[in-house]
Amino acid sequence: MAQWQDVCSVDDLQPDSGVCALVEGQQVAIFYIPKDKAVYAINNHDPFGNANVLSRGIIGDINGQPVVASPLYKQHFNLQTGVCLEDETVRIPAYAVRIENGKVQVSISE
Amino acid sequence: MSAQICSCYDVTKGAVCQAIEAGCTSLGALKAETKASTGCGGCAALLKSVMNSELAKHGFEVNTNICEHFAYTRQDLYNLIMVEEIRTFDSLLEKHGKGKGCEICKPAVGSILASYWNDYILKTEHLGLQDTNDTFLANMQKDGTYSVVPRITGGEISPEMLIALGQVGKKYKLYTKITGGQRVDLFGARVDQLPHIWKELIDAGFESGHAYGKSLRTVKSCVGSTWCRYGVDDSVGLAIELENRYKGLRSPHKIKFAVSGCTRECAEAQGKDVGVIATETGWNLYVCGNGGMKPRHADLFATSLDKETLIKYIDRFLSFYVRTADRLQRTSVWMENMEGGLDYLKSVIIDDKLGLCQQLEQQMQHVIDTYHCEWKTTIEDESKLKRFRHFINSDQPDDNVVFVEERGQIRPADEEERKHFKLVEVA
């Protein structure tokens, strides 16, 4: 069962961009697209560049999949599954995330 | 012998052409097959241009769309924004695109909007468009920390300013290196330190150097007639004036200038996008030079100019480049691909063949009139500073950032050193 944790206020999110939150010791990149009322959460660690930077990448879509491009070497990661589009054997953790009463909540454990 | 395209993996043009003939007709397929452009990535633009010309040769229709979201080139998008007076990415996407955008079209449109309107790039509606370095107005390094480059116009700096810079470097324990553009780069700043560092730099009289932007970087100069026995004119004075005039201009790619005080050319102006050399009869203007991967000597554009004419030509030249170049295309490649080449460019800029010159000058004047130091604007706006922290919900720094000492300064720890550090920390 999802264990929802309050992370921050929805006002702390960056419209059409990302922020990083610390949740149970994990770095979680949270992306927010107000127009679609969409919020996504994946791990902040870029496995190619080996740095905690994914929250600072540009978001968008490739063939209809919501993605973030790493700010280091521009590999794309699916925001829902964490799968890398350039190398599908690479998958980073994706987390459940929701907005409840103006609070952003993330669930790290399934 | 076939020319080398990718030096990381020693891939020749012959090998690339062979792969194209074997059916690799996309950049992705070509990279996967030949490994070209999968190392440092510096040859990506060259690989793409070879691919496009080969595909055209084989009768394929070459797709010049900027990406899947816009069926237009950068030049088309510039014209749409200009003619329809579009001010945001969202309205451009709504009218002329599809989907949500990506890391290709967003920064390209962000750059065009900045060139044309010169809005503050971290305005809420523009923030998500900015490329890696622009989003935090600093240059991201391999470990996710940033480097900071204040503007030092013409490379001229007083001892007081140099001391102030040194004090900031020392206080924040930054790695300090002199750049190729006659200024100082301070490395190893965490994202939460950037506003503090900039507050101190601005208080000391510095302003943004735009090292993070596709924009005017530096105007390098030799010491000129003021001190040099051979100097013919005041190259430092002109360099400072030019740098102050064009600082903040956003462009398809970075722009570098230099001014030399005589033909000995100590500032290496002929290797720059815009180069100026003093003569006994006025300034000689060179354009479209480049160092970097594919060095190109600049072309002599006009000779014996007075300063007023020189500046008028540079205004027009830069505006025309900003308007017509492709995304991430330096002036050298722009020139190489220009139909009619140097003579055509002269006819547009000097003879006003297209009747555009007044518009080009007005466009530049708008950018000059609306200049502001982005860092000053940022530290004065509390709401903009919220982003400058690693965690939105904690003051902890990123524990993945680890420095070790080398030659008396910090550097990022390598893989082995990191393991050791983690062990030590746990113990």
CB contact under 8 A, A67 and B135: no
ipTM (interface pTM):
0.96
Which residues on adjacent β-strands are paired with residue B296?
A: B290
| Structure confidence at residue B423 (pLDDT) | 53
| Structure confidence at residue A110 (pLDDT) | 62
Phi/psi region, residue A50 (left: phi>0; alpha: psi -120 to 50; beta: rest), is left
Residues of B in contact with A34 (CB under 8 A): none
B173: tokens are: 């324990």
B19-26 long-range contacts (CB < 8 A, ≥24 apart) are B20/B51, B20/B54, B20/B55, B20/B58, B21/B58, B25/B51, B25/B55, B25/B60
Is pLDDT of A69 > 80? Answer: yes
Domains of chain B, by residue range, sit at 4-57, 74-130, 141-203, 216-369
Residues of A in contact with B400 (CB under 8 A): 45, 50-52
Comparing A33 with B53, the larger pLDDT belongs to A33
Cβ-nearest to B132 among A16, A56, A66: A56
Q: Which fold has domain B141-203?
A: Sulfite Reductase Hemoprotein; domain 2 (3.90.480)
Q: How far apart are CA B35 and CA B270, in angstroms?
A: 34
Residue B110 has φ and ψ, to the nearest 5°, of -55, -40
Is pLDDT of B427 > 80? Answer: no
What is the DSSP-derived secondary structure letter of residue A85?
S
Per the structure, how many domains does chain A have?
1
| Structure confidence at residue B426 (pLDDT) | 42
B216-369 to CATH, choices 3.20.20.70, 3.30.413.10, 3.40.50.150, 3.40.50.800: 3.30.413.10
Structure confidence by residue, pLDDT tens digits, A79-98 = 999 999 999 999 999 999 99
**A63 at the B interface (CB within 8 A)?**
yes
Is pLDDT of A57 > 80? Answer: yes
Q: Return the SS3 of B224.
A: helix
pLDDT mean across residues, chain B:
95
Structure confidence by residue, pLDDT tens digits, B169-188 = 999 999 999 999 999 999 99
| Beta strand pairing call for B255-260 and B274-279 | parallel
CB contact under 8 A, B41 and A73: yes
pLDDT tier for residue B1 given thresholds of 50, 70 and 90: low
Predicted structure pTM score: 0.94
Residue A85 near residue A96 (C-beta atoms within 8 A): no
* Containing structural domain, residue A50: 5-107
Q: Which fold has domain B4-57?
A: Arc Repressor Mutant, subunit A (1.10.10)
CATH number at residue A47: 2.102.10.10
Is pLDDT of B49 > 90? Answer: no
**A7 at the B interface (CB within 8 A)?**
yes
Residue A73 near residue B39 (C-beta atoms within 8 A): no
CB contact under 8 A, A21 and B99: no
Using alpha carbons only, give the angle B190, B195, B199 rounded to the nearest 5 degrees. 130
Q: Please enumerate in sequence order all residues whose Cβ is within 8 A of that of B385, keeping only pairs 6 or more positions apart, or say none.
A: B195, B378, B379
Sheet of strand A65-69, all strands in order from the earlier edge strand to the far edge: A58-62, A65-69, A76-78
B250: tokens are: 């956003």
| Structure confidence at residue B382 (pLDDT) | 93
Structure confidence by residue, pLDDT tens digits, B119-141 = 999 999 999 999 999 999 999 99
